[in-house]
Amino acid sequence: MSDREVLVIGGGPAGVAAALEMARGGLKVTLCEQGPRLGGAIHRQPDDPSRRVRVPKAQRQRWQALAEALAASPVTVLCRHMFAGVEGSGAVLLEDRASGRIVTRHPAALVLALGGVERATPVPGWQLPGVVTAGGLQMMMKSTGRAPDGDVLLAGSGPLLVAVAAQLTALGKAPVAVLERSTSAVSLRALAGLIRAPAYLWEAAGYLLPLTKAGIRLQRGASVRSIVPAGDRLSVTIVDTIGLEQRLVVDRVALHDGLLPNGNGTTPAPNGPFTVLAGDCREVLGGVAAIADGRLAGLAVLARLGQAAPDLAGAAATLRRERRTQSALNTLFDYSGSDAAHLPDDTVICRCEGRTLGQLRGMLAAGDRVSAREIKLNGRFGMGACQGRFCAEWVAAFVASQRDGQPPQVAEIVGSRWPVKPVPVSAFVDLPPSSPSE
């Protein structure tokens, strides 16, 4: 075995697959996961093994195979180790959440398998307590094995909405309604794409049948127009395809508008190790593709470090097939969100800093063409704790819509600085100086 360490960040399917591939190729691999257990978002393992959310069988089997292979491998697993970024001299920073300290590593290569970023497009009131993302709600259910208290409304677009609705229903807490913004019918092209991947149809059927049986309202072409507090509940105005408004009072609203690759802290650092992205973090293609992509990332590292690498034509073919399937699936959904032209000025855009659409409009109103950097610094968009992870894409798209062409780059708004996520000051205090420079 080579004594050069390679580091994999993210204990989901892409990270585990990458770690296994590199360990098989003779590298010394350390796999870091920020949570208490491996699994990632898709295979999130419960806090209490007896309280488990039902997931499709094929999905469960995929994880079981990975977990068994990992247990039999020499890969070192570090849970509760959060990737904080690559600092200026090239060291990888990890926050060891058990000891509360920053630890540094100097791996020969780094695989980032951080998963995708869940999108939710702005609507008035989405910053209120009680408004969550559907993916976040699903993570909570997978961890605790319990549904949240109170009435839940699911809204937005994407296959995750029905999956979460089915999981809520299975836990005895059927959602009040599921609003899917898209009105597009299943086209022949989409159908052809999906039939080639029947697992998706089975998965969809597995979610939809119980919903139908439970009489859950699945409304297509409907979306949330605004959310306002109603006592300690939320009053949600819903609009349908022909513009009719309706009001629902619920305890929780779970929004979801698809997933994005993760551009936060994933740009290779100037002095950093050879870095490869894997899984949804690189391209949102789902769990099956993540395993194939993880293996390919492992292969890229093996090749780079001069280790013998196996032929992974099968993984590349899987990736191509999943890409076709995802693009067919995407035609069924509408991730565009509310038309910004109709959003009121007080709509919060940056939830970290509480910055509004009116403030963004104000910055663009002058004849002078302000740059993305000025929008960021003076508008404070992307200056909060998430460093623009949740608002940069939307801000860039809005600026582009106000100016013909020449959109600012999302990268100018999203931070490329470490720490990727906030790290306690106390975690740095014990960091030993790397070299005596006094």
Partner 1 sequence: MSAAHFLSRAGWRVTVYDSGVVASGATGSADGAVSVASKKPGPLMTLAVAAVRFYEHLAETGVLVDEFISRSTFMIASQSDELDVLESQSAQLEAAGVPVRLLKGQSLAETVGAAAPSALAAVEVQGEGHAVGYRVVERLRRLGGFTIRRHCRIVGLRQSGGSVSGVVTEQGVEPADAVLLAAGLGSMDFLAGSGLIRPRKGQLIVTDRAGRDTPRFPGPLMSCRYLVSKGSHPAGKLPESRSLGLVVDPLRTGQFLIGGSREDRDDKDTADADTVASLLRDAVALSPSLARLRVIRVFAGVRAATRDGMPIVGRVGGADNVWVATGFEGDGICLGPLMGHLCQQMICGRPADQDISALGADRFGLKLADAA
371 counts as binding partner 1 under rule CB under 8 A: yes
390 counts as binding partner 1 under rule CB under 8 A: no
Structure tokens at 84: 């904080």
212 counts as binding partner 1 under rule CB under 8 A: no
* 179 vs 423 by CB, closer to partner 1: 423
Paired sense of beta strands 109-112 and 274-277, if any: parallel
Q: How far apart are CA 155 and CA 131, in angstroms?
A: 11
Stretch that binds partner 1, among 124-132, 238-246, 306-314, 417-425 (CB under 8 A): 417-425
415 counts as binding partner 1 under rule CB under 8 A: yes
Contact 148, 142 (CB under 8 A): no
394 counts as binding partner 1 under rule CB under 8 A: no
* 401 vs 434 by CB, closer to partner 1: 434
Q: Which residues contact 33 (CB under 8 A, 6 or more apart)?
A: 10, 11, 15, 77, 78, 79, 80, 81
207 counts as binding partner 1 under rule CB under 8 A: no
Distances (CA, A) of 342 to 226, 357, 395: 11, 11, 15
User: Shortest approach of partner 1 to residue 282 CB, angstroms?
Assistant: 23
* 239 vs 364 by CB, closer to partner 1: 364
Stretch that binds partner 1, among 47-55, 61-69, 72-80, 263-271 (CB under 8 A): 263-271
Run of H or E residues at 169: helix 159-170
270 counts as binding partner 1 under rule CB under 8 A: yes
* Pattern 339-368, partner 1, x by CB under 8 A: ---------------------------x-x
Q: Which of 241, 378, 401, 409 binds partner 1 (CB under 8 A)?
A: 378
Question: Binding residues for partner 1, how many (CB under 8 A)?
Answer: 39
- Give the relative orientation of helices 313-330 and 188-195 as an angle to the nearest 10 degrees: 150
Which residue carries 């509004």 as its tokens? Answer: 356
User: Shortest approach of partner 1 to residue 406 CB, angstroms?
Assistant: 12
* 2 vs 104 by CB, closer to partner 1: 104
Q: Which of 1, 186, 199, 385 binds partner 1 (CB under 8 A)?
A: 385
Q: Which of 64, 183, 184, 434 binds partner 1 (CB under 8 A)?
A: 434
Which residue carries 């997931």 as its tokens? Answer: 55
Q: How far apart are CA 34 and CA 185, in angstroms?
A: 40
- HSE-CB of 210 using CA atoms within 13 angstroms: 21
* Pattern 87-116, partner 1, x by CB under 8 A: xxx-x-x--------x-x------------
Q: 257: which strand partners?
A: 157
Helix (H, G, I), strand (E, B) or coil at 174: coil
Stretch that binds partner 1, among 242-250, 284-292, 300-308, 416-424 (CB under 8 A): 416-424
User: Shortest approach of partner 1 to residue 374 CB, angstroms?
Assistant: 6
Q: Which of 271, 327, 401, 409 binds partner 1 (CB under 8 A)?
A: 271
* 190 vs 386 by CB, closer to partner 1: 386
CA angle 64, 154, 321 (to 5 degrees): 45
406 counts as binding partner 1 under rule CB under 8 A: no
269 counts as binding partner 1 under rule CB under 8 A: yes
User: Shortest approach of partner 1 to residue 348 CB, angstroms?
Assistant: 16
Amino acid at 302: L
433 counts as binding partner 1 under rule CB under 8 A: yes
Amino acid at 190: A
Q: Is 346 exposed, middle or buried (0-12, 13-18, 19+ CB in 10 A)?
A: exposed
Nearest to 355, CA basis, from 122, 193, 155: 122
Which residue carries 């034509």 as its tokens? Answer: 313
Structure tokens at 379: 């508008």
Greatest alpha-carbon pair distance for the chain in Å reads 71
438 counts as binding partner 1 under rule CB under 8 A: yes
Contact 11, 80 (CB under 8 A): no
382 counts as binding partner 1 under rule CB under 8 A: no
424 counts as binding partner 1 under rule CB under 8 A: yes
27 counts as binding partner 1 under rule CB under 8 A: no
User: Shortest approach of partner 1 to residue 377 CB, angstroms?
Assistant: 5
Q: How far apart are CA 389 and CA 263, in angstroms?
A: 8
Stretch that binds partner 1, among 151-159, 244-252, 320-328, 428-436 (CB under 8 A): 428-436
Q: How far apart are CA 409 and CA 42, in angstroms?
A: 30
Contact 302, 22 (CB under 8 A): yes
Q: How far apart are CA 223 and CA 257, in angstroms?
A: 11
Can you give the binding site for partner 1, defined by CB under 8 A?
87-89, 91, 93, 102, 104, 269-271, 366, 368-369, 371, 373-374, 377-378, 383-385, 387, 415, 417-419, 422-426, 428-429, 431, 433-435, 437-438
